Structure 1
Amino acid sequence: MDKRLPPLLVAVFINIAGFSLILPLLPFYGQVFDAGPFGIALLFAAYSFGNVFGEIHWGRQSDIWGRRKVLALTTCVAGLSYFAFAFAPTLWAAILIRVVSGFFSGTMSVAQGFIADVSTPEKRAKTMGLFGAAFSMGFAFGPVIGGLFAGEEVAAASFRLPIFIAGGFSLIASLWCLTVLRDAIPPKGKGAPLPRYSDAFRFVGSQPVLLRLFIIGFFGIAAFASMEAIYGLWSEENFGWTAHDLGWAFLAIGSGGFIAQVFLIGPLVARFGEARVIAMGLALLSLSMLLQPVIRLPISGVLLMGLLMAGHSLAFPTAGALISRNTPPERQGSTMGLLMATNAFSRIVAPPLFGMIYGSIAHDAPWYIGAAMIALVIILALQLVKHTRPARIVN
């Protein structure tokens, strides 16, 4: 392992812990502003909306300034946005702050660029697995801290301390990047060209394998993001959970992703190939959503969300790797840019839609609709088996 990689993984862990710390608070913090399911889902979607533009801008900017400077700046401003979020006067102000926070947190492409700088193509899959593990660990522990420090009363003051802690995590990550992280290569002085989405659309549409993978990614991530958004409301209604309880539940969610990333995805891909692993992950997603309202117990509410995250962590990183492997080098930038934009769009539009379904149709309906939606795209994943060849695994 390149000695410059561990500082990045530490920064990712700290930053994601701060980001995920907010998640169990949102359903309850939204109620401070008398927000219904749709408004609370907007709080989730607003972050993804800012993320879309942040990923495009900061990825290119890191080529000009260097990865270290961009990561230090963005995590600092993201941290300051959390402090503003704690004092948001209205729901729409809170949503706007979440957009700003998402924009300055849109740095996954910068981190992935750093990984590309310090790892050879043969070792990149393994390195990305370490990146995913750091992400999942941050996602597991952040919400626990948020839940522990949240008050019981549904009032703005009950949530300020954990939100301050989230902002503090981001500021620590910024200081860490500034003092410890070192660029692997000098800044290029110019940004990479913007993805040519029109060309990518035509290319993806002409490739049956890529088209299926894009559809799988869109609907799968849409379902996952929507369940994440309504989970707090649903568990509050069914189990009487508070932000404290929800924080512990998110520990299971992050742990499911960590286990899948570290222990399962590599051996499963080596034995069964990417297409079958994608189908397995989707099956876990669909099953966990279907069983959630059927069993309806607190322990299953936790374990099934962990299973949901495990399925997500198996299916979508594998789908992204398969897209990259089936895309020629000259089209990598535009195709992967289109993938990022497509996935972000699904995270923007789906949670408010499922929030409306939750509030207007039935509180269990999002689980069943999500399960059915994933069951349909499993068919596409199974079709991929005969159209793809297994990857060559390099240890």
Structure 2
Amino acid sequence: MDRRLPPLLVAVFINIAGFSLILPLLPFYGQVFDANPFEIALLFAAYSFGNVFGEIHWGRQSDKWGRRKVLALTTFIAGLSYVAFAFAPSLWAAVLIRVFSGFFSGTLSVCQGFIADVSPPERRAKTMGYFGAAFSLGFAFGPVLGGLFAGEEVVAASFRLPIFIAGGLSVLASIWCLLALKDAVEPTGKGRPLPKYSEAFHFVSQEPLLARLFVISFFGIAAFASMEAIYGLWSEHNFGWSAHDLGFAFLAIGGGGLFAQLVLIGPLVARFGEARVILIGLALLALSMLLQPIIRMPVAGVLLMGLLMTGHSLAFPSAGALLSRETPPERQGSTMGLLMASNAIGRIVAPPLFGLLYGQVAFDAPWYAGAAMIALVAIVGVQTVRLLDSRRASATM
């Protein structure tokens, strides 16, 4: 491992711990403003809305200013936004603050740029595995802190301490970036070109394999984000859980992702290939959603969320890796940019719709709708496997 990489991984861990610390609080913090399920889901979607613009902007700025400066600046301002969130005077103010926070937290492309700077192409997949592990570890650690320091009463004061801790972690990440992170390449002073989404869309639509990978990613990530958004409300209704309980339940989500990243995905891809690993991940996703309302037990509720994250961590990194490998070098930037934008739209649009399902149809409806969505996506996954098998068979003839 390049010695310049560990400081980035530490920064990612600290930052994601702060971001994920907020997640188990949102369903209860929304209730402070008498928010309905649709409005609570908006708190989740608002962050992703800001995120998509942040990813485009800060990725380009990091080419001009350097990765270190951008990461230090954005994490510091994101930390300040948490303080504003703790004192939001209304639901819509809270939603706007979440958009602002998402914009300054949209630095995944900056981190990926840093990884590309310090690792040669043949080691990049392994390096991204380290990045995924740091992300999942932060995701496991943060919600526990959030639940641990949240109060029992559904009032704003009960959530201020954990929100302050989230802000403190972001500021700590900013200081760490300033002190420990070093740019691997000199800033160019020019931003990378904006992704040419129209060209990428035309290219992807003409390629049956790539089009199917886009469908899998869009609907799969939309379903996962929606389950994340309604889980707090559903577990409160069924098990009487508070933010404290939900924080420990989210530990299973981070643990499932960490287990998939460190233990499962490498051997499974080596043995079955990315396309079949995508199918395995989709099967785990659908199973976890289907069984949640059927079993309806607290222990199962935790374990199945861990299974949900395991499936997510198998399917979508594999889809991204396969899409990247099947895309020619001159199309990489625009195609991967389009994929990131497409996934973000799924995270923005789907959670409020599933919140409506939860509030207007039935409390269990989102789980069944999510399982049905993934089952349909799995059909596309089977077509992807057949396309790849057919292509490889033709290549050997």
Q: TM-score range by the shorter chain?
A: over 0.9
- Write the distance in 2 (CA, Å) between the matches of 1:349 and 1:379: 23
Deviation at 1:261? 0.5
User: Which of structure 1's runs of 4+ aligned residues deviate more than 3 A?
Assistant: none
Specify the code of the residue in structure 2 equivalent to 1:28: F
Deviation at 1:387? 2.2
Deviation at 1:382? 1.4
- Write the distance in 2 (CA, Å) between the matches of 1:216 and 1:143: 28
Which runs of structure 2 are paired with 1:1-395 in the superposition (5 Å)? 1-388=1-388
- Write the distance in 1 (CA, Å) between the matches of 2:376 and 2:388: 20
- Write the distance in 1 (CA, Å) between the matches of 2:346 and 2:142: 24
Deviation at 1:380? 1.1
Deviation at 1:384? 1.4
Deviation at 1:250? 0.3
- Write the distance in 2 (CA, Å) between the matches of 1:123 and 1:241: 43
Q: Deviations over 1:166-189 (max 9, x none)?
A: 000000000000110000000011
- Write the distance in 2 (CA, Å) between the matches of 1:67 and 1:265: 29
Specify the code of the residue in structure 1 equivalent to 2:54: G
Specify the code of the residue in structure 1 equivalent to 2:156: A
Q: Deviations over 1:19-71 (max 9, x none)?
A: 00000000000000000100100000000000000000000000000000000
- Write the distance in 2 (CA, Å) between the matches of 1:385 and 1:238: 39
Deviation at 1:386? 2.6
DSSP-derived class of the 1:52 partner: helix
- Write the distance in 1 (CA, Å) between the matches of 2:359 and 2:29: 17
Specify the code of the residue in structure 1 equivalent to 2:385: V
- Write the distance in 2 (CA, Å) between the matches of 1:321 and 1:354: 28
- Write the distance in 2 (CA, Å) between the matches of 1:362 and 1:142: 30
Deviation at 1:320? 0.4
- Write the distance in 2 (CA, Å) between the matches of 1:332 and 1:297: 45
Identity %: 80
- Write the distance in 1 (CA, Å) between the matches of 2:353 and 2:237: 20
Q: Deviations over 1:328-384 (max 9, x none)?
A: 000101000000000000000000000001000001000000000000111111111
- Write the distance in 2 (CA, Å) between the matches of 1:384 and 1:122: 25
- Write the distance in 2 (CA, Å) between the matches of 1:384 and 1:369: 23
- Write the distance in 2 (CA, Å) between the matches of 1:157 and 1:384: 50
DSSP-derived class of the 1:388 partner: helix
Q: Deviations over 1:270-312 (max 9, x none)?
A: 0000000000000000000000000000000000000000000
- Write the distance in 2 (CA, Å) between the matches of 1:360 and 1:208: 37
- Write the distance in 2 (CA, Å) between the matches of 1:369 and 1:262: 30
Provide structure 1 residue ranges, at least 5 long, that are not aligned to the other structure. none
- Write the distance in 2 (CA, Å) between the matches of 1:262 and 1:205: 34
Specify the code of the residue in structure 1 equivalent to 2:138: G
RMSD, aligned CA? 0.9
Deviation at 1:388? 2.4
DSSP-derived class of the 2:387 partner: coil
- Write the distance in 2 (CA, Å) between the matches of 1:202 and 1:326: 16
DSSP-derived class of the 1:187 partner: coil
Specify the code of the residue in structure 2 equivalent to 1:249: A
Specify the code of the residue in structure 2 equivalent to 1:67: R
Q: Deviations over 1:231-281 (max 9, x none)?
A: 000000000000000000000110000000011000000000000000000
DSSP-derived class of the 2:16 partner: helix
- Write the distance in 2 (CA, Å) between the matches of 1:339 and 1:346: 11
Deviation at 1:314? 0.2
Specify the code of the residue in structure 2 equivalent to 1:361: V
- Write the distance in 2 (CA, Å) between the matches of 1:181 and 1:226: 35
DSSP-derived class of the 1:101 partner: helix
- Write the distance in 2 (CA, Å) between the matches of 1:174 and 1:80: 11
Specify the code of the residue in structure 1 equivalent to 2:180: V
Q: Deviations over 1:74-107 (max 9, x none)?
A: 0000000000000000000000000000000000
